């Protein structure tokens, strides 16, 4: 196999090294292209552009493979816990017992948010979207911990920032939910594990004893693991990009939350349920909506179908579909919207349009259904995704810092007006 790529530009041949990853992926390293030839590459949406070398997550969209630090997602979802996976993503190796206890202890220790932060929540409008609140609150954390703004701070401080972020995100998310309902906030109960503590802060009330449901915590633990990282996706790239300017970690993660909010990324899980409700309210004619999704003159798309990188199947969707069936069965859920989801899945999977384009339900299709079944409100769905993705974002940020990557600064091909002279307002037609 050749280790050089030749590119002929204006009759001159340039040679560039070929880089091979540990799973055999190959790239042409064009980092000297502009210096040597004056050309740049043009790649809308970075569909063919590798922006970094990364040792965190391996993903093969054609084969439906997803590994975190080499471990198959199927094994982690089946056997691990979200905190253990977080440790793995951040540190590259699974923890031993002592390391796990320390990590867990540090996360529990930092779960409270500063009392002053509670006041911020009071000033958001009642119907404020929890993703907007979460992004703002995570950014605000940097003002409570000003040392985090120093790009040269010692690793010990960075570690504390990482613990704080992982520990406080569920607390902030739960407060935003309680605030929305007008219910009193629940302080974290550090005797509980990460997932149970979050469910307690969401669904507990100071007036009654809270009894958790292991079926619900298991399902949530799986969902968080499945979402924990997905290599250079829109939000992870955003976190790396913002972090590359040496902005603090809280701000970089806050930007990642904003990127995740969009309906083409994490926001799709909310859109899935809203779409199913629309279909139900419209009389439940699923074929009509499938036809709309196929109509090129209609902007409607089936949310929860298709994926930018998985073109045969999404391994996460297979795991989560199984978990989804289990949760619905164990909880005895009877919900017309979920019936529509099942029928929609059946119809779309048999439809030539979807088969030809390899469009099948993605992780957001099933995660939306599980969240609904376990009573997470629709507008909180993307917040759940953000909770899961947090360790991935931090690992991506950490890798970018440790690799001393340069500030992200893409180029462009300018297509605007060429140089022209300013004309005074009174002289303009
Ligand atoms: N419904 C109907 N048609 C679709 C859909 C859909 N959900 N997704 C793609 N297509 C069609 C698209 O119109 C195009 O058709 P044609 O070749 O005739 O022009 C073809 O399939 C290829 O689509 P694309 O837009 O080029 O595919 P993409 O890889 O650029 O986009 C996507 C991927 C996820 C943005 C897109 O499939 C989509 O908008 N899906 C719905 C939103 C969604 O569920 N997003 C969550 C993704 S998973 C969460 C995550 O990992 O962030």
**Cβ proximity of 269 and 371 under 8 Å:** yes
The residue to mutate among 295, 306, 388, 392, having the most atoms of ligand 1 within 8 angstroms of its beta carbon, is 306
Instruction: Kindly report, as residue ranges, where domains of CATH 1.10.580.10 are found in the chain.
Output: 72-397
The residue whose C-alpha atom lies closest to atom 15 belonging to ligand 1 is: 357
Q: Hey, what CATH topology would domain 4-50 get?
A: Rubrerythrin, domain 2 (2.20.28)
Q: Which amino acids bring their CB within 6 angstroms of ligand 1?
A: 230, 233, 264-266, 268, 293, 301-308, 357, 359, 362-364
- Residue-by-residue DSSP string for 280-325: HHTT--HHHHHHHHH-TTS----TTB--SS-SS--HHHHHHHHHHH
Does residue 307 have an active-site annotation? yes
- For CATH 2.20.28, the residue range(s) in the chain are 4-50
- DSSP code of residue 422: -
Q: How far is the CA of 54 from the centre of ligand 1 (A)?
A: 26
Using only C-alpha atoms, what is the Rg of the chain?
Answer: 24
Minimal-distance CA residue to ligand 1 atom 10? 306
364 is catalytic: yes
Q: Whose CA is nearest to atom 24 of ligand 1?
A: 308
Please give the model's pTM, rounded to 2 decimal places. Answer: 0.91
Structure tokens, 199: 């469910």
Please give the distance, rounded to the nearest whole angstrom, from the Cα atom of residue 305 to the centre of ligand 1: 7
* Residue 320 neighbours by CB under 8 Å, 6+ apart: 222, 223, 226, 363, 366, 367, 370
300 alpha carbon to ligand 1 midpoint, in Å? 11
- CATH superfamily to which 72-397 belongs: Citrate Synthase, domain 1 (1.10.580.10)
Which residue owns the Cα nearest ligand 1 atom 9? 306
* Candidate list 67, 110, 129, 307, residue with the active-site label: 307
Give the pLDDT score at 71.
98
Please list, in sequence order, all residues whose beta carbon lies within 8 angstroms of the beta carbon of residue 282, skipping any fewer than 6 positions away: 288, 289
The confidence score (pLDDT) of residue 326 equals 84
Give the total residue count for the chain: 429
Which two three-digit tokens encode residue 358?
């390899």
At residue 28, φ and ψ (nearest 5 deg) are -95, 120
DSSP state of 48: T
Q: Which of 312, 327, 316, 314 is nearest to 357 (CA)?
A: 312
Centre of ligand 1 to C-alpha 306, Å, is: 5
372, with CB counted inside 10 A (0-12, 13-18, 19+), is: buried
CA–CA distance, 199 with 197 (Å, rounded to integer): 5
At residue 45, the pLDDT reads 94
Tens-level pLDDT at each residue, the chain (429 residues): 678 999 999 999 999 999 999 999 999 999 999 999 999 999 999 999 999 999 999 999 888 899 999 999 999 999 999 999 999 999 999 999 999 999 999 999 999 999 999 889 889 988 899 999 999 999 999 999 998 898 888 877 899 999 999 999 999 999 999 988 889 999 999 999 999 999 999 999 999 999 988 988 999 999 999 999 999 999 999 999 999 999 999 999 999 999 999 988 888 888 899 999 999 999 999 999 999 999 999 999 999 998 888 887 889 988 988 888 888 888 887 788 888 988 999 999 999 999 999 898 888 888 888 898 888 998 999 999 999 999 999 999 999 999 999 999 999 999 999 999 999 999 998
State the Cα–Cα distance between residues 109 and 117, nearest whole angstrom: 18
Predicted pLDDT of residue 181: 86
């Amino acid at each position: 196999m050749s280790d050089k790529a030749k590119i002929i530009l204006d009759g001159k041949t340039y040679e560039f090294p070929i880089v091979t990853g540990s799973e055999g992926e190959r790239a042409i390293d064009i980092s000297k292209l502009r210096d040597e030839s004056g050309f740049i590459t043009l790649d809308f949406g970075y569909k063919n552009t590798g922006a970094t070398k990364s040792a965190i997550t391996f993903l093969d969209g054609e084969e439906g493979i997803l590994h975190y630090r080499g471990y198959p997602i199927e094994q982690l979802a089946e056997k691990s816990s979200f905190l253990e996976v977080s440790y793995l993503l951040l540190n590259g190796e699974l923890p031993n017992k002592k390391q796990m206890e320390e990590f867990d202890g540090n996360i529990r220790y930092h779960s409270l948010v500063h009392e002053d932060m509670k006041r911020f929540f009071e000033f958001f409008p009642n119907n404020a979207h929890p993703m907007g609140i979460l992004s703002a609150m995570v950014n605000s954390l940097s003002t409570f911990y000003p040392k985090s703004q120093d790009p040269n701070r010692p690793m010990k401080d960075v570690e504390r920032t990482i613990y704080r972020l992982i520990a406080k995100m569920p607390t902030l998310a739960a407060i935003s939910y309680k605030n929305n309902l007008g219910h009193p906030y629940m302080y974290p109960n550090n005797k509980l594990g990460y997932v149970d503590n979050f469910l307690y802060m969401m669904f507990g009330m100071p007036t009654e004893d809270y009894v958790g449901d292991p079926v619900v915590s298991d399902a949530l633990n799986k969902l968080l693991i499945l979402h924990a990282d997905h290599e250079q996706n829109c939000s992870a790239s955003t976190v790396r990009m913002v972090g590359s300017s040496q902005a603090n970690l809280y701000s970089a993660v806050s930007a990642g939350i904003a990127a995740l909010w969009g309906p083409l990324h994490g926001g799709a899980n909310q859109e899935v349920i809203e779409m199913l409700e629309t279909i139900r309210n419209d009389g439940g004619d699923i074929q009509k909506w499938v036809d709309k999704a196929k109509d090129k003159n209609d902007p409607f798309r089936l949310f929860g179908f298709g994926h930018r990188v998985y073109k045969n199947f999404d391994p996460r969707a297979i795991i989560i579909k199984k978990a989804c069936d289990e949760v619905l069965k164990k909880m005895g859920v009877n919900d017309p919207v979920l019936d529509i989801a099942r029928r929609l899945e059946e119809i779309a999977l048999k439809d030539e349009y979807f088969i030809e384009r390899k469009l099948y339900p993605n992780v957001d299709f099933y995660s939306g259904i599980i969240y609904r079944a376990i009573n997470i409100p629709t507008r909180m769905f993307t917040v759940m995704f953000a909770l899961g993705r947090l360790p991935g974002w931090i690992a991506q940020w950490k890798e970018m810092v440790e690799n001393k990557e340069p500030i992200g600064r893409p180029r462009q091909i300018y297509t605007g007006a060429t140089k022209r002279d300013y004309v005074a307002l009174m002289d303009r037609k």
